[in-house]
Amino acid sequence: MARYVVDVMPKPEILDPQGKAVLGALPRLGFDGVADVRQGKRFEIEIDGDATDERRAEVEKMAETLLSNPVIEDFAVRVEETVA
């Protein structure tokens, strides 16, 4: 069993209202010195079998077609761990 992690974040040039809402709330809660907050999604995907190049290519394809909107979001895929 292999676990892949897919991070999906709004592209830098795209407005991120959720991140901005968090950024605006922080000073009111007493947190200062925060320059920026961006909010995205994280997916943990457990796949049968070992972490191979083919599996990774499949996860990249999932990220591109289902997990992200490539027009407004960037994604990154990595293997987090391989569980026996």
- List residues near its own copies by CB under 8 A: 1, 7-9, 19, 22, 25-26, 29, 31, 33-49, 58, 61-62, 65-67
Minimum CB distance to its own copies, residue 71 (Å): 19
Beta carbon nearer to its own copies, 65 or 71: 65
Could you identify the residue written with the tokens 């994604």?
75
Measuring CA to CA, which residue among 19, 68, 24, 21 is closest to residue 39?
A: 19
Yes or no: say if 6 and 47 are a contact pair by the CB < 8 Å rule.
Answer: no
Minimum CB distance to its own copies, residue 84 (Å): 14
Q: Could you tell me the two tokens for 74? A: 């960037």
